Structure 1
Amino acid sequence: MIKDIVTAVFSYIGTTTDYFVVLLLLFGKYQSRKETKPVIIGAYIGNALLVLVSLAIALLLQQVPAEWLLGLLGLIPIYMGIKSYLSDEDEGDEIEERLNNIQPTSILKDVILITFAACGADNMALYIPYFTTVSVTTLPIIFAIFIVILTVVIYSAYKFVSVPMVKKFFDRQGDLIQMIVYVVLGLYVLIEAGSIQHIIKLIF
């Protein structure tokens, strides 16, 4: 149980490093109470959908009979983390371009879409392998942890939106933090499922 909680905290913090920058951009554009409300609601809905879709896929994949084969999914977050770190693409510029096209009447819908566009592939690449390693009984605790961390991230972004140094730090170091978390979690999945041990036995 303790291991699952620690892993949940570690994994979700890793997926929110990039999203923190997205929230900074969103709160920077929408600063009135009327505008920030749909941003906050959209952030919760967008992240909830990502988690639920990933969980549904993970539950389907758990039908794979050989656990070590399932553990090979751990290679996906490792690949995504390294790829994101080595990429020259500026995600912030892409989000700012999307923000310029948002209409005041569709903030909620567009925040959900931006959440999927900015974080969908990376987050699901981590969530799906992770959810294949946890039992259904621990899911309520994991979801509660995710909600608490997301709430802290949203509140922090709202408070720090006027501090340029914060955005600069996450622009520079966010990809490194994310890569470390993704690689560590990927290795955890590979080891937890016995994939690495099985491959070593096959070779030697």
Structure 2
Amino acid sequence: MLKDVLTAIFSYIGTTTDYFVVLLLLFGKYSTKHDTKLVVLGAYLGNGLLVLTSIIIALALQQVPEEWLLGLLGIIPIIIGVRGYFSKEDEGEEIEEKLKIIKPDAILWNVLVITFSACGADNMALYIPYFTMLNVQILPVILVLFIIILTAVIVAAYKLVNVPIVKAFFGKQGDLVQLIVYVSLGLYVLVEAGTLQHLLLLIY
């Protein structure tokens, strides 16, 4: 159980590095008390839907009879982590452009859309392989940990929204953190499912 908990903490922190920058931009645009509450609610709902969707897909995939086949999912976060690190696209700039054209009177919807468009595919590519390897009995513990980490990230972003150096640091180093986490978790899934060992036996 301890291994699963530590892996969950490691993986979720990795997925929140990019989302931290997203939250900085959102809190920067929506700064009134009322608007801030909607941003926070949207962050919880958006991330909750991403995790719930990932769990449903993972539970469906757990019906695959050969566990080593599930381990092949570990390749996906490795590819995404490497692609994100070497990509020249600036997600922060893309989000800022989206914030300029979205409707100002639909804050909750805007936060949900940006959460899914900015983090959806990447996060689910990490969550689904992880949840396929997870014992369902400790799932409530993992979900509580996710909520605690997300809360800490939201509070930190709200407190640090007016510190430019913070945004600059995460904008530059976020991809490196994501690379380390995604590749590490991808390799963990490949080994935990016995996929890597199975493939090595086929080769040798």
1:54 pairs with 2:44:
no
Could you say which residue in structure 2 is the equivalent of 1:149? 149
Could you say which residue in structure 1 is the equivalent of 2:20? 20
Q: Percent identity?
A: 67
Could you say which residue in structure 2 is the equivalent of 1:43? 43
Superposition RMSD on alpha carbons, in Å?
0.6
User: Alpha-carbon deviation of 1:102?
Assistant: 2.7
Could you say which residue in structure 2 is the equivalent of 1:5? 5
Could you say which residue in structure 2 is the equivalent of 1:181? 181
1:167 pairs with 2:167:
yes
Which ranges of structure 1 fall in alignment gaps of 5 or more residues?
none
Cα distance in 2 between the residues matched to 1:18 and 1:61:
27
Cα distance in 2 between the residues matched to 1:172 and 1:94:
15
TM-score (norm 1): 0.99
Cα distance in 2 between the residues matched to 1:121 and 1:103:
24
Cα distance in 2 between the residues matched to 1:141 and 1:99:
35
1:66-109 alpha-carbon deviations (Å, 9 max, x no partner)? 10011010000000000011101110111011111233320001
Could you say which residue in structure 2 is the equivalent of 1:139? 139
User: Alpha-carbon deviation of 1:144?
Assistant: 0.2
SS at match of 1:104: coil
Cα distance in 1 between the residues matched to 2:99 and 2:61:
36
Aligned AA (1:106): A
1:116-174 alpha-carbon deviations (Å, 9 max, x no partner)? 00000100000000000001111000000000000000000000001001000001000
Cα distance in 1 between the residues matched to 2:28 and 2:117:
19
Cα distance in 2 between the residues matched to 1:129 and 1:24:
28
Cα distance in 2 between the residues matched to 1:119 and 1:42:
13
Cα distance in 2 between the residues matched to 1:89 and 1:12:
23
1:109 pairs with 2:109:
yes
1:24-73 alpha-carbon deviations (Å, 9 max, x no partner)? 00001111101101000000000000000011111111111110011010
Aligned residues: 204
TM-score (norm 2): 0.99
Aligned AA (2:49): L
Cα distance in 2 between the residues matched to 1:101 and 1:27:
16
Cα distance in 2 between the residues matched to 1:203 and 1:172:
39
Which has the higher mean CA deviation after the structures are superposed, 98-107 or 87-96?
Answer: 98-107
